[in-house]
Structure 1
Amino acid sequence: MKTVVLIGYFVLLSLITSSHSSLEYDYYRESCPQAQQIIKYTLRRIYDQNKSVAPAMLRLVFHDCFIKGCDASVLLDPTEVTGSEKTTPPNESLKGFEHIDLIKSELENACPGVVSCADLLVVAARESVVLVGGPFYPLHTGRKDGVHSYPDDSFNLPSPLDTHSISIHRFELRNFTEKETVTLLGAHSTGKIHCKFFEKRLYNFGGTNQPDPSMDPEFVELLRSMCNKSETHSQSPSASPSPSPLTTSKTRKEQAMNMDYEGPGSGFGTLYYRSLLQGRGILFVDQQMTAGENSSNWVRQYASDVSMFHKDFAQVMMKLSNYQVLTGSQGEVRQNCREVKASLW
């Protein structure tokens, strides 16, 4: 068994060797050999106290990489002269910035000015996947941090209201196949999703004053019980390709549904894909993966073979983590992930 695991590990390494020649395996082996261990164990300490950190890291890495590549631009605060991705409507429910700050401070204490925020974020996301029962995947490092934020481009993020064709197109623009789109959306296996992102499916789908007919009626009632209509108000959901990690509360702002609503241990990916086949996808964009012939085939395969999903998810997360990275002199290494080091803003 150990031999099989080792073989799989080196196969994954071979897949990312040529993905970006400027990234390296164990890039910090001399400058900060303990870097990945610091990220891993600091994150685990946080997770022991706050389970929401794992889905928060997954959302952050997706919202970062999907815009201009994995450059940690989503972590930048606004300045007096420049806006910020994190303050735009599509990113308004992102969480976990304070956890990034804590991990970065640990890295700076050990190796000042060495480890980039971009590397921190992709490694933290990988460790988060492992913490919630997903697969480990190797990562090359050596990313540099960007010196600009791109608030206008945040509106190109996938929306929870995207149809099948729109969703596939958004990912194709970033060189992800239809299969890879279905695989990446499996990240919705963990976390919580705010009612505002799916409430129209429960009461007034497409202006019909009826629930979404693609939903299982019993599941509609379950979601309604979590999202009391009397406390809701009209609000257009912003783009949010990953579930919000906020906790469920009786207040309108905090009403949410667990993505793993059968409880912890239901399996990373198992419940998500099985639910889509049963008309129990919480988000419209998720349920739409059963609307296309090719995508629905992959949903069925992942629902019946979680090991296949884990293998494919590991590979697509490596691809996402290497998307349009900055290396060498293309960027910098921030000492504070919230602000650029150079005076360029």
Structure 2
Amino acid sequence: MQNQDVDINDQKFEFSSRTDQKYKYCSLSYDDDDDCPYSFFDDHSFPPLPMFATTSVERRKLKQQQTASVVGSLRYDYYQQTCPQAERIIRSSVRDLFRKQPRIAPALMRLAFHDCFVEGCDASVLLDSADGIHSEKESPPNESLKGYDVIDIIKSELEEACPGVVSCADAVVLAARESIVLAGGPFYPLKTGRRDSMTSFAEDATFELPSPQDDLAKIIESFSAKGFDEREAVTLLGAHSTGVVHCKFFINRLYNFSGTKTSDPSINSEFLSFLKSKCNNSSASLMSSASKSRPPSQLISASPSPSSVVVQLSSTLVEEPAIKMDYEGPGESFGTLYYRSLLQGRGILFVDQQLTAGEETKTWVQAYASDVSLFHKDFGSAMMKLSNLGVLTAPMGQIRRDCRKVY
């Protein structure tokens, strides 16, 4: 059968069979279609292939060689024969937890970005440190990362239904998609069949993740290294439409911008006063001490339950001075307020406000500020691309039974 294009939210996606088309149409109404299939079959009997490179440069080179063509190995309905309820389990878990604690949505979005942007979508961010090797969790950019317990709960439910079948890597990207939908963002199709990395190095996360302090040139460089153009960089940063940002990530803009002991002149004066009222000059030192006393590995319960996740997210996300990214209140369409705020000099993070510093990036900020449909279309495409970065497929990697450790 010839490949056919179908439209989803005015966006064209190519599908190669009737099964793929059924996946798409039923996914758009998955709340009501209990008979809809949700994943594909593949052979999980391949042995894992260890990654033996010792430096970050060697690891990146090896990963590029290994994953040059594996995206083609991902498929819609990958678990259809081995765990047909996999995506339904993930969706149900995320929705149940979201009803109790909406903050899991931005936490899961950020978790997926931090996983995929470092060596690809391979669940390496979930691994605990072991054998004297510091994992990505211990990297400074990840010290405030949340959502590990949510993935643990999802994985335990998947293991109960289909032991040793669904990867942690697939769970991360699918949970992120569900979170985006719950936050008011777009649905986008995802192929599955990712496998889990057997390694995780803190230095990789430190080296590869964008910083809240990055200027425009560095932003473009970081995203370009992962295959994203300027438009896609602006689009993906739109995920900052929701969530909480701790004062320590922008305190320098308020009191000591670029070592000048003054505020960032690009901040709207009224907004500057608001930010200072929420984040005093002592916030940075207080939060630094708090983070040092509670390393990431100690913030995660050994046997998480839905109630423990709610408690954890409620406490750790608000006990430190912070500001909601949607600080003017809920009700705005996902993305719109964020981009409008940047045009008004009301970007909270320096990395966000820098998007108005370049001609092309500002053009897209203006476009998304006035057209939420365009943003949703582009955001869905960019998230599909992000979710396919550096994936491992059989025989590489493994299917972890416990997302925190290799076996």
In 1, distance between residues paired with 2:176 and 2:316? 26
Q: Could you tell me which residue of structure 2 aligns to residue 320 of structure 1? A: 386
Q: Could you tell me which residue of structure 2 aligns to residue 158 of structure 1? A: 210
TM-score (norm 1): 0.90
In 2, distance between residues paired with 1:15 and 1:165? 37
User: What is the identity, as a one-letter code, of the residue corresponding to 2:163?
Assistant: P
Partner SS, residue 68 of structure 1: coil
Residues 63-98 of structure 1: CA distance to partner in whole angstroms, max 9, x if unpaired?
A: 111111100000000113322100111111111111
Matched, 1:105 2:156: yes
Q: Is the 8 A contact 2:197 2:397 kept in 1?
A: yes
Partner SS, residue 264 of structure 1: coil
User: What is the identity, as a one-letter code, of the residue corresponding to 1:184?
Assistant: L
Matched, 1:144 2:195: yes
Q: Could you tell me which residue of structure 2 aligns to residue 203 of structure 1? A: 255
Larger radius of gyration: 2
1:266 corresponds to which of 320, 324, 332 = 332
Matched, 1:171 2:237: no
Partner SS, residue 80 of structure 2: coil
Matched positions, count: 328
Q: Is the 8 A contact 1:192 1:247 kept in 2?
A: no
In 2, distance between residues paired with 1:164 and 1:77? 33
Taking a change above 3 Å as real, the CA distance of residues 113 and 10 of structure 1, as seen in their structure-2 partners, is farther
Q: Is the 8 A contact 2:244 2:317 kept in 1?
A: no
2:239 corresponds to which of 168, 183, 187 = 187
User: What is the identity, as a one-letter code, of the residue corresponding to 2:205?
Assistant: S
After superposition, residues 3-42 of structure 1 pair within 5 angstroms as 7-8=7-8, 12-14=12-14, 20-42=71-93
Q: Is the 8 A contact 2:7 2:13 kept in 1?
A: no
Residues 128-178 of structure 1: CA distance to partner in whole angstroms, max 9, x if unpaired?
A: 000100000010000011111121111121000000001100110111001
Q: Could you tell me which residue of structure 1 aligns to residue 96 of structure 2? A: 45
Residues 188-223 of structure 1: CA distance to partner in whole angstroms, max 9, x if unpaired?
A: 001000000001111111122221100100000111
Q: Could you tell me which residue of structure 2 aligns to residue 298 of structure 1? A: 364
Deviation at 1:49, TM superposition (A): 1.0
Deviation at 1:250, TM superposition (A): 11
1:130 corresponds to which of 181, 196, 206 = 181
After superposition, residues 14-93 of structure 1 pair within 5 angstroms as 14=14, 20-93=71-144
In 2, distance between residues paired with 1:338 and 1:211? 41
Partner SS, residue 14 of structure 1: strand
Q: Could you tell me which residue of structure 2 aligns to residue 242 of structure 1? A: none
Deviation at 1:13, TM superposition (A): 3.6
Q: Is the 8 A contact 1:215 1:281 kept in 2?
A: yes
Partner SS, residue 323 of structure 2: strand
Partner SS, residue 194 of structure 2: coil
Taking a change above 3 Å as real, the CA distance of residues 182 and 246 of structure 1, as seen in their structure-2 partners, is farther
1:255 corresponds to which of 321, 327, 340 = 321
Matched, 1:222 2:274: yes
Name whichever of 116-125 and 204-213 sits farther off.
204-213
Deviation at 1:228, TM superposition (A): 2.4
Partner SS, residue 186 of structure 1: helix
Q: Could you tell me which residue of structure 2 aligns to residue 3 of structure 1? A: none
Taking a change above 3 Å as real, the CA distance of residues 231 and 55 of structure 1, as seen in their structure-2 partners, is closer
Deviation at 1:108, TM superposition (A): 0.6
TM-score (norm 2): 0.77
Taking a change above 3 Å as real, the CA distance of residues 150 and 185 of structure 1, as seen in their structure-2 partners, is same
Deviation at 1:249, TM superposition (A): 8.8
Residues 234-291 of structure 1: CA distance to partner in whole angstroms, max 9, x if unpaired?
A: 888x9xxxxxx9669998x610000011212212101100000000000000000000
Q: Which runs of 5+ in 2 are unaligned?
A: 1-5, 21-68, 292-311
In 1, distance between residues paired with 2:107 and 2:113? 10
4+ residue runs over 3 A deviation: 9-13, 15-19, 245-251
Residues 25-68 of structure 1: CA distance to partner in whole angstroms, max 9, x if unpaired?
A: 11011111110010001111111111111111111111111111
User: What is the identity, as a one-letter code, of the residue corresponding to 1:261?
Assistant: Y
In 2, distance between residues paired with 1:38 and 1:294? 41
Q: Which runs of 5+ in 1 are unaligned?
A: 1-5, 239-244
Q: Could you tell me which residue of structure 1 aligns to residue 56 of structure 2? A: none
Deviation at 1:229, TM superposition (A): 2.5
RMSD: 2.3
In 1, distance between residues paired with 2:150 and 2:80? 24
Taking a change above 3 Å as real, the CA distance of residues 325 and 151 of structure 1, as seen in their structure-2 partners, is same
Taking a change above 3 Å as real, the CA distance of residues 301 and 9 of structure 1, as seen in their structure-2 partners, is closer
Deviation at 1:7, TM superposition (A): 2.3
